[in-house]
Structure 1
Amino acid sequence: MKGLGWREVLDALARHVREDSPPVGVGERAYPRLGPALFTPGYGILCAVQTADLPEIRRLAKVECLQEILPGARPPSDTFSILRQAGLAGGTQFLGQGGSLLLYRQTAQIRRMADAMGWRILANPPETRLPWENKASFRGRLLDMGLPALQFEILELESLGGDECSRLMDRWGGPIVLQIPCFPQGGGRSSFVVREPAEIIDLRAEWGRGNHRGHRFSQVMASPWLSGISASMEGCVTPWGVLVSPLQLQLVDIPEVLPPNGFGRFCGHQWGAGIPGAGWVQEMATSITIKVGNAMAAEGYRGVFGLDFLVENGGRAIWALECNPRYTGAFPTLTLLQWAHGLAPLEAFHVMSWLRDDPVELPPELLEATSRPVGPAAQILLFNRDPWDTQVSQELPSGLYEWVQAEGKGRRKGPALPFPAAGLCKTEDFLILDGPPLPGHRLKPGRELERVARIIFFRDVVDPSSGGIAMDVRQVIQWVYRSLGLEKVDP
């Protein structure tokens, strides 16, 4: 069969979807599930939180929002609760018998509900996903594949104390990182750095008998703390092989958008500069991602996954740290950037890997294009920074903004969607999406890392001289927080 161009491939996918029921993306907010709307006719989104960007998202996808259907009710945050509340509210217009769910991740609870409702789940089952998601299991699998893996030890929680921390610090010559290997949420919610043995006392008190954010555990994984740069790469297991994204600089622990304390907390990406030794590092990350993806494929995995890397010693060493066998925080911004650059989005191959059982022939250059650069660009996620419940008191529209330095504020130029084509935006332009919540919305305390909004820039945001966020970018962030009028409310 003659190879197809990417527009023809998406047309073929569209014809296939029209012959079947279009999938429905489910999530707390609409924006993270937006990507397939670019290339999947009839695609719908079921979300929980009503945000200012819904009118713009509805230009591209059908959206049902629980906060609109049930005003005044506290919106659920996880997929199972969203589906359950939608059912209690009388169901949705999207999901009838035989519908398809495009999910962040599949769980046993969701599978039981889907079986009862006759839904098809377009996400890997837990038995396929969990061995890769477990941080300790993943490190062991790297070693089995002959790939570089950071040293680690598995420790029983009951035996973890100051003496054990001292032993590990002596072994590795410095601070250690403790992680809960089986914790189901990403974003740095289960990573802790211990610089002095005495610090473990407070951490053990917080964990009690092994409970972190409602998740029970009995073991922790210890690794040496290394100085370096956080990076990531998206992979996608498809019938055409393992495809990869460009290497991304991960933005972590940005104090301007996070509550105090914590370690390794994800705040966004930068596509472009910022990774030392980028050519060699890109090649190594690509090689590791493809090898991991092939091993995942051998176990029945399909679709997108992400690998987190540490780039050490000015680009002279790279370590794969974690595998995220699911959608990651790069989506859908990566999808929108690839679309804007005229590239076949990696997410399109994810959808095709689930919807097409008869894959068309694709030319190698089309498949390789998913790894082409899409920068300079960046996204920064803003979270509730306060230690208490906070309420939004002022409306800030989503949209395309221009930063006016003389006035110290952003000026809205128009809608954020459709996403601007590559090269049309200036360095002072930015988008506000993934929110913001509307006035009256109540944000959970900062420790819960509830997102306020996502700012997308068409430039590098990291100051290469300091390694921190550039001053004018910090000004944009501060202005967004001020514009929302966040106020403390009683629990």
Structure 2
Amino acid sequence: MDKEEVLKITKDLPPIIGIAPNAFSRIILADFCPEYSIVCFKYRGETDIIARDIEVFCVEKEDPGTSISKMNAQELLVHPKVQEYIKSKKDPHLLIYKPTKGVEAISYEMGWKVIGNSSSVKYKIENKYEFRQLLKKAGIEAITGETILYDDLDKNKYGEMVEKYGNKLVFQIAEMTSGGGTGTAFINSEEDFKNFKNKFDIKREKLLSINKVNVTRFMEGTPTSISACATKFGVVTGNIQTQILDIPEVRLMSDGSGLFSGHDFSFGNYSGELNEQAKCMARSFGEYIYKNLSYKGIFGLDLITDIGSGKVYPIECNPRYTDAFPLISEIHNSQDAITMDVFHIFEHMNVPYNINVDEISATYAIQKKASQIILETRSDDWTKVAGSLKAGVYKINKSSVYGLQSTSGKTNGHPLGEIHLNDTNEDLSRQAEAFSYLRPGYRFEQLKSGDEFLVTEGVPFKDTVLKAGARILRLIFAESILSGEKELTAEAKMIIEHVYKELDIVPSDANLFIENFFGLKQVEIEDDKYLENAIGMGADVVNLLEADDNFGYVRPKKIMWEMDFKGSAPIDRIRSVRMRKHLRKWIFNMSKYDLRYEVKEPLMSKDFMLWYEKFRTLLSAKEKANIKIYPGWLEEKKTEGKIPGGIFLYKGNRFIGGNIYVRSDNLFNVGFGACEKVENPNWGMGTIVDFLSAEQAKKLGYKKIRYGIDSNLYGHHLSTGLLKYKLNFGLDPVVNSKTQVYSTRFIRTDKFDDTVVFLGIKNNNYVFYVLQKNGSPDEDLKVRTDFEIVKIKI
């Protein structure tokens, strides 16, 4: 297949829109798809250069001063101007970095199609524990080791691991899937072990999900990876590519070990046999997840490649676009090869095509010299750009490098030597001539020689404010920049230091964001020193992202609700005597009022859509509706291997509502429910279906039933009446280990009801805080709970 054949296929495809924080990361498909555009948030130095060639809708450019709470696709897609732009396209298909439930929900709601795998499939692959199980199923040998519970990992267990696997160990937190090496640690001593435990004990206190740890023997070798694309014809594979890790010149080193900073596609003398091992591994793994998990398209395997022993070891899988893209595609494209991006969209858009995967992979076998490195702020606090640097192509002044080499007088085994930056005024003078701007550019193919490099992806303007440890920009070279593992060449170091000098990163006040949640202005801050900034912005509520009862009320952001049967019938678990009495009467007399219910399991699509339309109609009538389910929910749950069902309530032949649940081996979860009011009889129809759901769970042998998740703040979006109902019904609040813990300070209370209630943490125990406005009458919630109730006037 050549480019001409690809264009014959893509000319009739509907519009494809690449979604990303920066436009650069989605550029490649513009060469293959006529109806292609990019939506990005950040307006940066390269944005207008890219927009000369590709249609780019940039939020910051179109709506200066706008902000979003998190730099991800979900936040982008809820922005009004982004929605307006996407709606202007007929049958838009969205190309995203990785799928999330939020993106899926918004896309289904808006009628947009997502080019990507489901979020549930993604998690099954990127979870470190699940990955080891998948390797075994795919017939791939994992690194010697085991998975243990974090709670079991004490000094004695560490000693046991050392005895089994040696003094050099690697710990990986199974649930940490954000990438970049933040959940990985190299443990070479008891001191390393103590530091690991201290670090992740603190993270656990913030209720991050940390349950399992992969413990493996440390394998000697070079950190590498391989890019691949799973298709119906097999798996297209690239070559072994060297990862650039743990580089203090471009990032803070306090986050862990194996911290990602870039790639060197030219470093490492990897034999054909080593490359074949890596490709065989990618093929086996890709074929397994394609056939058994329905995973399609691009993925990356992180590897350790040991040239000495001639072995390649799998570390983890990134089931998404990785940071090798778009540069790896740019390299392939510059060599007239069809990039993996093309097959990725063909698979997800069900496009008829035909390829020989071996022939395609062969076009990637020999590639040009190239490398890239990502620069971060190197600060654990907010900073801003006081200088300026153009995006585009620069020329390296080689004489500056050799001049500095002669000043330092050291070679460090590399022909360009080792440099000491900023030692003298003479050094600074030479450094000032390290490189010079040549021309605008953003494509790898625009580098005409090894003496040129690109400054791109996020090049900030003067006064741009950056978060702690934030990415700034990407440098791309047409040559190698590594002199050894985790060691940059003198030339690369000099260029990087000069880039930082030109940017002039200085301390800054926080650039805070107000989240407007149904009229309530909330601000998250990472340090209490930013409280006055938040108040000055007009915040109603300020949430500090850590537990500090000196700042405010410590509380989980969200809570789950569940009923533990404890061997009893559901009716006996209901706390309210009055509610029990009513339910017995209602259930007994249902037929008298022509009321009946049906259990819908398995839940069929037509039944689900009947319920969905009723649910949307009932919730849309509410002032503060927050609809989180979408038409694709049913198929998603089936893909996850769960069993969806429903409790449907009818009056005569008219469907009046019900609950939707999913169940697995150990969990019965009522996710959503709504019932319309009926005048005759004037009963609590929602209470009836909640009870019938509990009866169904008990009948099927479950020991507990869960009733969804709430924002843990009653008295604004959610009513205190809802809280009272759940407690009286017999439910208990449960905090998920993944839930963020806030310390909340209420600045203005005029948007709240007279009473505000939430589950809080006081003296390491859970309590219910009941905040009542001064001057308002005392309200007796009349709830039955084992938790202490703390009443406070505000």
TM-score of the superposed pair, with normalisation by structure 1: 0.91
For the pair 1:30 / 2:26, whether they are aligned, the reply is: no
Counterpart code for 1:430: F
For the pair 1:445 / 2:437, whether they are aligned, the reply is: no
Q: Distance in 1 between matches of 2:497 and 2:203?
A: 37
For the pair 1:67 / 2:92, whether they are aligned, the reply is: no
For the pair 1:103 / 2:96, whether they are aligned, the reply is: yes
The 3-state SS of whatever aligns with 2:85 is: coil
Shift of 1:119: 0.7
Query: Cα gap change, 1:315/1:11 in structure 2, threshold over 3 Å: closer, same or farther?
Result: farther
Equivalent residue number for residue 180 of structure 1: 173
Deviations 1:451-483 (A, max 9, x none): 11111111111115x762110111111111111
Query: Residue 498 of structure 2 is aligned with which of 462, 470, 479?
Result: 479
Q: Distance in 2 between matches of 1:269 and 1:481?
A: 20
Query: Residue 15 of structure 1 is aligned with which of 7, 11, 17?
Result: 11
Counterpart code for 1:248: Q
Kindly report which structure 2 residues correspond to 1:106-185, keeping only aligned pairs within 5 A, or say none: 106-185=99-178
Q: Distance in 1 between matches of 2:355 and 2:220?
A: 41
Shift of 1:134: 1.3
Counterpart code for 1:230: P
The 3-state SS of whatever aligns with 1:72 is: coil
Shift of 1:74: 3.8
Equivalent residue number for residue 190 of structure 1: 183
Query: Residue 322 of structure 2 is aligned with which of 313, 328, 337?
Result: 328
CA contact (8 A) 2:228 2:237 kept: yes
The 3-state SS of whatever aligns with 1:113 is: helix
Shift of 1:212: 9.0
Shift of 1:203: 3.3
Deviations 1:188-246 (A, max 9, x none): 12112222224444433333375499742222222222221011111101233210112
Counterpart code for 2:360: L
Equivalent residue number for residue 345 of structure 2: 351
Shift of 1:340: 1.0
Unaligned runs of 5+ in 2: 401-429, 511-794
Kindly report which structure 2 residues correspond to 1:295-374, keeping only aligned pairs within 5 A, or say none: 295-298=288-291, 299-312=293-306, 314-359=308-353, 361-362=354-355, 366-374=359-367
Query: Cα gap change, 1:131/1:363 in structure 2, threshold over 3 Å: closer, same or farther?
Result: closer
The 3-state SS of whatever aligns with 2:61 is: helix
Query: Residue 468 of structure 1 is aligned with which of 480, 487, 493?
Result: 487
Equivalent residue number for residue 417 of structure 1: 442
Query: Cα gap change, 1:272/1:209 in structure 2, threshold over 3 Å: closer, same or farther?
Result: closer
The 3-state SS of whatever aligns with 2:487 is: coil
Shift of 1:100: 1.1
CA RMSD in angstroms, aligned pairs only: 2.2
Shift of 1:331: 0.6
The 3-state SS of whatever aligns with 1:314 is: coil
Shift of 1:125: 0.3
Deviations 1:20-47 (A, max 9, x none): 2x11111222111222122111312122
Unaligned runs of 5+ in 1: none
Q: Distance in 2 between matches of 1:40 and 1:411?
A: 35
CA contact (8 A) 1:42 1:61 kept: no
Counterpart code for 1:9: E
Equivalent residue number for residue 432 of structure 1: 455
Equivalent residue number for residue 395 of structure 2: 402
Kindly report which structure 2 residues correspond to 1:262-273, keeping only aligned pairs within 5 A, or say none: 262-273=256-267
Q: Kindly, what percent of the aligned residue pairs are identical?
A: 25
CA contact (8 A) 2:228 2:235 kept: yes
The 3-state SS of whatever aligns with 1:16 is: coil
Shift of 1:364: 6.0
Equivalent residue number for residue 242 of structure 2: 249
Q: Distance in 1 between matches of 2:478 and 2:205?
A: 37
Q: Which has the higher contact order (CA 8 A, sep 6+)?
A: 1
Q: Bigger CA drift: 369-378 or 194-203? A: 194-203
CA contact (8 A) 1:14 1:41 kept: yes
Counterpart code for 1:60: D
Q: Bigger CA drift: 216-225 or 245-254? A: 216-225
For the pair 1:94 / 2:86, whether they are aligned, the reply is: yes
Deviations 1:331-356 (A, max 9, x none): 11111111111211122221222234
Q: Distance in 1 between matches of 2:357 and 2:189?
A: 52
Q: Distance in 1 between matches of 2:358 and 2:161?
A: 47
Query: Cα gap change, 1:39/1:90 in structure 2, threshold over 3 Å: closer, same or farther?
Result: closer
Q: Distance in 2 between matches of 1:441 and 1:278?
A: 45
Counterpart code for 2:495: V
Q: Distance in 2 between matches of 1:412 and 1:236?
A: 37
Query: Cα gap change, 1:284/1:91 in structure 2, threshold over 3 Å: closer, same or farther?
Result: same
Counterpart code for 2:505: L
Query: Cα gap change, 1:418/1:13 in structure 2, threshold over 3 Å: closer, same or farther?
Result: farther
Q: Bigger CA drift: 74-83 or 101-110? A: 74-83
Query: Cα gap change, 1:212/1:300 in structure 2, threshold over 3 Å: closer, same or farther?
Result: farther
Q: Distance in 2 between matches of 1:403 and 1:180?
A: 41
Q: Distance in 1 between matches of 2:454 and 2:299?
A: 26
TM-score of the superposed pair, with normalisation by structure 2: 0.57
Equivalent residue number for residue 475 of structure 2: 455
CA contact (8 A) 1:396 1:484 kept: yes
The 3-state SS of whatever aligns with 1:155 is: strand
CA contact (8 A) 2:236 2:357 kept: no
Q: Distance in 2 between matches of 1:331 and 1:469?
A: 21
CA contact (8 A) 1:346 1:370 kept: no
Counterpart code for 1:151: T
Counterpart code for 1:479: H
Q: Distance in 2 between matches of 1:169 and 1:70?
A: 56
Counterpart code for 1:417: Y
Q: Distance in 1 between matches of 2:206 and 2:379?
A: 18
CA contact (8 A) 1:183 1:215 kept: no
CA contact (8 A) 1:238 1:303 kept: yes
Shift of 1:182: 2.1
The 3-state SS of whatever aligns with 1:334 is: helix
Query: Cα gap change, 1:324/1:212 in structure 2, threshold over 3 Å: closer, same or farther?
Result: farther
Equivalent residue number for residue 282 of structure 1: 275
Shift of 1:315: 4.9
Count how many residue pairs are aligned between Structure 1 and Structure 2: 474
Q: Distance in 2 between matches of 1:343 and 1:217?
A: 42
The 3-state SS of whatever aligns with 1:94 is: helix
CA contact (8 A) 2:21 2:71 kept: yes
The 3-state SS of whatever aligns with 2:86 is: coil
